[in-house]
Every structure is written in structure tokens, then in C-alpha cells.
Chains A and B, each alone.
Chain A
């Protein structure tokens, strides 16, 4: 802010007029610029706000900022994690204060401009009226925004900070202090033998699971939608209703039921395989077969949604296109390649991308089926753990909060890049301001 002051002052081609003085006074202290503009009530009000802000929050912010830098200095007395939380809240409060501070400077400058033009600035009564009218949207947004900051933004920030500490079972307050360790947790994930093995195998399986499950469930859904959509197929409503069922039944119920269907010794699937003379498959104890089972279950869970979605798109495609293609002698496959597929993909691409993001974090199937197992010796993750279920285990089984947070940040980066990709192709956002 000092920089901007100097910059404004040093520009020779600009006259040193009243708005600049008002703005500079407001930089020195909230309200001074308004007083200079002869908006007495507003100026006094701003001064009061500023001093009560400082009076109320000074001690809190002081401890918070000290806390977030040092994370406490005396074990048993300073609680590092509480200090970290207070530090983050302090940062949020400071950010809020800065917003008001800049609005105050901008206001002083704007009113100064009005005065420079020789017009009378709005009096206290008019200001009150504009604020109450103008303030309505803030009133509407406030409760939601407050909750959003409390339960989404604040936890996310907290987690980001945790990833750079050594907070785990052996460094847990109040008995011990927690320290900043920089990027050590991330380096260890890639370098230290134990962590590297777990991380790489979990990451690979997460990617494979995401790509295979989402692609196959979509393909299967599209395929079934096309089969049912054929003119000569009868009982369309029946097929659609029955095949939508896996989506209608809550996923946690279905997964738990599958857990027992795939049971190694008592499960009906192995019983069926044995009676066919194939012998039982170690679904629950062999990592490879557990992965196969998880993929099969996810296909079952996921195809109905894609089917419903594609059915909607197919019903919207004009039959003229197909008739024209038939006149040109196109084979059914050519019709699919050149008409159906592009149109369906175009319409469903955004949803498909969210599906990839969803499966990337599909905790339920992994954890409810076999708790990420079977366990792998020499690894902190089970044989079928994906990143998010690994985070769960790191947090609640081995209390390695720092690594859990670091892995979560890696997940966030992946999801973020998917999100940016989707963001770019979202048309409605670009058209956003046309609505106004």
C-alpha cells in the first residue's frame, strides 16, 4: 500500500488533486479521507470501525501470527495445533480487514473525484439508503458464505498447512510441539524407500481404477442405451426401469452385499464357480483378484447413470440424420461412428469428466468392499487402496496427519487439473455476463 502511494505521488503527468489527497489520508487511517471529503458521519464511523477492529482483535491476531510462525515454543504449555488454527483464523480476519481497508481507500478516492467535479457528495441520509439497498445481496450471501468458509475453506487451508508440519503420533500436542518441516513430507513420499513404494503403487492403481472403471461404465451404459433405443426392441420401459436399479439402490448397501457375494469361502460366486468346475477365486485375499472384483462392482454400480444420461441424448437426436445416412448406404457401424458417438460425447462430456473426478475419489467402493485390503507386507497401504482411502488409513489407523495432508494435496492437484480442463470447455461460464 505504501508502494501505491509513492507511485501515485511520483507520477508527474497527473495533477496532485483532491481525490489523491483523500485516498492517501485514507491509506494512513480509515476514515481520514472521508473526513477530508467533509463526510463527517461516515468518517467518524469508519474511524470507529477501525479502532474497534484493532481493539477487539489485536491480542488475538498477535498471538495467532506468532503462533503460526513458531507453532509454540514451550511443550505442554503451547498447543501447536490450536495455535495453527488460531493463526489461520487470524489470516482470514486480516484478509477481511484488508478488504474493508481497500474499500475505504477506493471510497475516499471516488468521493474526492465527485468533489473535484464540483458536485456535492452524497449526504449521510442518502448514503444510508444506498447502503441498505446495495447491502441486500451481502445480507443474502452472508450466512452461506460464513458456513462455507467455516467448513470448507478453513479446513482446506488447515490441511494445506498441516502438510508442511511433522504432526503425527509422535509429535502430538500438548505433550510435544509440532514444527514446520518445509517440503520434507513431499520429498519423503517420492524418496524414502518405504513411502515411495506405497505411494507409487497406490497412485498407479488409483489412475488405473479411475480410467478403467469410468470408461467401461460409460461405454456399457451407452451400449445398453443404444440397444434399447432400437426401434424394433419392445418393452423399452421394462428394460430401462430394471437396468436403472443399481443406481437407485444406495451404493453402500450394494457394496456391502457384494462383499458377501464375493466371500472366499461362503460366497455364492465362488460356490457357482466351483460347481462349474473352475475352483474358487481368492477374491478377498489376493490383490489382483480383489482389484478385478472392485472393477466389476464399479461397472455394475456405474453403468445405469450413463445409460440414463445417454438415453436422454439419444432421444433428442433427430431421426432425419439416420434416414439421410441410410439413403447414402451407411452401415450401422458407420452410423454409430459418425452420428451417434460424436453427438453423445459432445452432450455428455462435462458429466463424463465429473465422473472421472468422482471415481478418482471413490472411497466407498474401496473401503466398504475390503477396507483397501488385502494388507501388503512392507507397505503402509493395502493392496487395493486408492489415494483417498490411503489418506483415511494414514489419518485414523496410523495417525500420520502430516502425510495424510500431503497426499490430499496431491489429490487436490489432480482434481484441480481435471477441473481446469472442464472449466475451459464450460460454455455457460463464458456467457455468464450476458445474463446480466
Chain B
């Protein structure tokens, strides 16, 4: 009897903890959604369940001449899109070479990638700032994209190389015997086979610029070139209590698409990060 009671009690405690965690998890999210629907503009007047809910802050973001939200969004999408393509291209080339060929410096190359991927590129921010201003790439999207695309190479090369390694070598050897050249093997056989991992790399490198704050903050200075993260930060920072609800609306519109994509694909993120970490 007591054992049964204990097990019931355990179950109740489990559900209580889970419910508590769900509340803690959802509260900030629901609160910001609620705030974005509040008619007032200040933090003080916002509440979880707004009275007279309104969408006017959303329309303000898109229609007001004072709002640069659309520009920020387009900038961010542009940077993220180009970075994603460039990264996939660079990474697949490098990873394929490391997976299938023997060449001078291969072993040391892999080793230095392993070390380099531990250092986030923001660590060199002092240097980025000075160097970009020297080559006149400060305040350009190109400068930002190059830093992203270069910085991701070590980590993602490992990820993609691991995938290439798992494709049987017999496949490309057979193609070679049939007279296929290096390029044919790479573009016609290997790349299509590696599509799943390339999709993961593309997604990683799309999400990173979407959600990054520090690098755009350093590299981009003029307001019309900002990305969403920096723009929203300026929003809440400069005009704190006045524009809070507009900030909330802006945040919701950033968070929803990313969160949806993320929930659909989170399985791949977990395995991707896990294998990436064990591989290097």
C-alpha cells in the first residue's frame, strides 16, 4: 500500500515539476506576445493578457516612415542567404578534399581545423575592426559575410568530411573506372549524395547571421545597413520605455519563423552538434 502511494506521489511530483517548467518556459514568450498586442507603447502599461488588443504595432513596423524594420529584415535575409550559399560551397570543396585525397599538409590541416574551431571568430574582434577599416570593408555587408563564411570553415568541414567518409569509396572508384573525371565524380556523384549534411550546413549558416549580435554590431555602423539583432537592441536601448511594445512586435516577427524552422528540424541540430563535437 505504501509503495503504491509512494509511486503515485512520485508521479504527482513529476507532473508538478513539469508543469512548473512549462510555466517558466512559456511565461516570457507569452508575455512578449501579449505585450506586442497592447495598445500602449510603454513597458509599464504592457501586460500578459492585454485589454483592447491591437495589431497597430505590427502595422507600425511595416508602414511608418520612422520604422526601418523592413530594411533590417531584408538586410538580414540577404546576409544570411549569401552566407549560407557561400559556406556550403567552400565547406563542401574543402571537406571533399580532406575526405578523399591524400595531399601535403592534410594531417596538419585537419589538426589545425580541430584547434581553430574551438575559437569563435569574435575573439579576434579587435583585429577585425582595425583590419576591416584598413581594407575599407567596414560598414559593408561583404565584410560581414566574408567573416562569417571564413569562420565557419573549420567546424563545418569536420561535419561534412565525416559524412563524405561514410559514403563508400567503391562508388567513386567505380565511376573512375568508367572514365569519370575528378569534377564529374565530385559534382555528379558526391555532392548529390551529401545533400542531407549540406542542408544542415546551409541551415546553420543561415541561422547564425539571423541571430548574431556582436559581429554586425562591430562591422555595420550606419543605421540603414543594420541587421535585426542590432536594430532591435538599439530600439529597446535608446527608447526604452516608449517603444517597448513595438520592440515586442518586432521580436515576435523574428522569433516565429526561426522557431518554426527550428522545431521542424531540431532533430538534425542535435545529431549534427553531437557528431560535430565527437568528430572534433
User: Is A140 touching B97 in the complex (CB atoms < 8 A)?
Assistant: yes
A-facing residues in B192-227 (Cβ within 8 Å):
210-214, 218
Which residues does chain A contribute within 8 Å of B149, judged by CB atoms?
147, 151
> Would you call A198 an interface residue if the criterion is a C-beta within 8 Å of the partner chain's C-beta atoms?
no
Which residues does chain B contribute within 8 Å of A415, judged by CB atoms?
118-119, 123
> Would you call B55 an interface residue if the criterion is a C-beta within 8 Å of the partner chain's C-beta atoms?
no
User: Is A268 touching B124 in the complex (CB atoms < 8 A)?
Assistant: no
Contact of A147 with B146 at beta-carbon distance under 8 Å, contacts A249-B258, A392-B214 already known: yes
**Which of A152, A305, A351, A396 is within 8 Å of B124, CB to CB?**
A152
User: Is A364 touching B258 in the complex (CB atoms < 8 A)?
Assistant: no
CB distance from B69 to the nearest CB of A (A): 14
User: Is B97 touching A254 in the complex (CB atoms < 8 A)?
Assistant: no
User: Is A137 touching B277 in the complex (CB atoms < 8 A)?
Assistant: no
User: Is B126 touching A401 in the complex (CB atoms < 8 A)?
Assistant: yes
Which residues does chain A contribute within 8 Å of B31, judged by CB atoms?
257, 261, 268
> Would you call A419 an interface residue if the criterion is a C-beta within 8 Å of the partner chain's C-beta atoms?
yes
User: Is B14 touching A230 in the complex (CB atoms < 8 A)?
Assistant: yes
Which residues does chain A contribute within 8 Å of B251, judged by CB atoms?
253, 256-257
> Would you call A239 an interface residue if the criterion is a C-beta within 8 Å of the partner chain's C-beta atoms?
yes
Q: Mark B119-130, 1 if CB is under 8 A from A, else 0.
A: 111111111111
User: Is A241 touching B263 in the complex (CB atoms < 8 A)?
Assistant: yes
User: Is A266 touching B28 in the complex (CB atoms < 8 A)?
Assistant: no
Contact of A137 with B97 at beta-carbon distance under 8 Å, contacts A147-B146, A158-B131, A242-B26 already known: yes
* Chain A: interface residue total (CB-CB under 8 A): 97
Which residues does chain A contribute within 8 Å of B44, judged by CB atoms?
266
A-facing residues in B234-280 (Cβ within 8 Å):
236, 241, 244, 247-248, 251, 254-255, 258-259, 262-263, 266, 270-271, 273-274, 277-280
Which residues does chain A contribute within 8 Å of B229, judged by CB atoms?
250, 252
User: Main SS of the interface on chain A?
Assistant: helix
Q: Cα distance A309–B42 when bound, in Å? A: 39
User: Is A145 touching B94 in the complex (CB atoms < 8 A)?
Assistant: yes
> Would you call B115 an interface residue if the criterion is a C-beta within 8 Å of the partner chain's C-beta atoms?
yes
| Stretch from A24-32, A63-71, A423-431 contacting the other chain | A423-431
User: Is B125 touching A392 in the complex (CB atoms < 8 A)?
Assistant: yes
B-facing residues in A253-270 (Cβ within 8 Å):
253-254, 256-261, 263, 266-268
> Would you call B136 an interface residue if the criterion is a C-beta within 8 Å of the partner chain's C-beta atoms?
no
CB distance from B15 to the nearest CB of A (A): 8
**Which of B47, B123, B214 is within 8 Å of A412, CB to CB?**
B123
User: Is B211 touching A252 in the complex (CB atoms < 8 A)?
Assistant: yes
Which residues does chain B contribute within 8 Å of A388, judged by CB atoms?
122-123
Contact of A411 with B123 at beta-carbon distance under 8 Å, contacts A85-B134, A144-B90, A266-B43 already known: yes
Which residues does chain B contribute within 8 Å of A333, judged by CB atoms?
none
CB distance from A401 to the nearest CB of B (A): 5
Which residues does chain B contribute within 8 Å of A133, judged by CB atoms?
182
A-facing residues in B176-190 (Cβ within 8 Å):
182, 186
Which residues does chain B contribute within 8 Å of A428, judged by CB atoms?
162, 278-280
**Which of A228, A419, A429 is within 8 Å of B18, CB to CB?**
A228
Q: Mark B14-47, 1 if CB is under 8 A from A, else 0.
A: 1101100110111011011000000000111001
User: Is B122 touching A363 in the complex (CB atoms < 8 A)?
Assistant: yes
Which residues does chain A contribute within 8 Å of B214, judged by CB atoms?
363-364, 367, 392
A-facing residues in B144-194 (Cβ within 8 Å):
146-147, 149-151, 153-154, 157, 162, 165, 182, 186
User: Main SS of the interface on chain B?
Assistant: helix
A-facing residues in B40-69 (Cβ within 8 Å):
42-44, 47-48
> Would you call A196 an interface residue if the criterion is a C-beta within 8 Å of the partner chain's C-beta atoms?
no
> Would you call B77 an interface residue if the criterion is a C-beta within 8 Å of the partner chain's C-beta atoms?
no
User: Is A227 touching B121 in the complex (CB atoms < 8 A)?
Assistant: no
> Would you call A150 an interface residue if the criterion is a C-beta within 8 Å of the partner chain's C-beta atoms?
yes
User: Is B125 touching A391 in the complex (CB atoms < 8 A)?
Assistant: yes
Q: List 16 A-B contacts (CB under 8 A).
A: A103-B104, A133-B182, A136-B101, A144-B93, A148-B150, A152-B150, A154-B131, A224-B17, A245-B259, A249-B258, A252-B213, A253-B232, A261-B28, A268-B31, A308-B270, A416-B118
- Other A-B contacts than A156-B123, A305-B273, A308-B266, 13 sampled, CB-CB below 8 A, are A137-B102, A140-B97, A141-B109, A148-B116, A156-B124, A159-B124, A224-B17, A241-B263, A250-B258, A354-B277, A364-B214, A428-B278, A428-B280
Residues in B lying within 8 Å of A, measured CB to CB: 11, 14-15, 17-18, 21-22, 24-26, 28-29, 31-32, 42-44, 47-48, 90-91, 93-94, 96-104, 106-107, 109-110, 114-116, 118-131, 134, 146-147, 149-151, 153-154, 157, 162, 165, 182, 186, 210-214, 218, 229, 232-233, 236, 241, 244, 247-248, 251, 254-255, 258-259, 262-263, 266, 270-271, 273-274, 277-280
The 10 A-B residue pairs with the shortest CB-CB distance in the complex, in nearest-first order: A151-B150, A137-B101, A155-B127, A155-B124, A140-B97, A419-B118, A250-B211, A144-B94, A248-B259, A248-B262
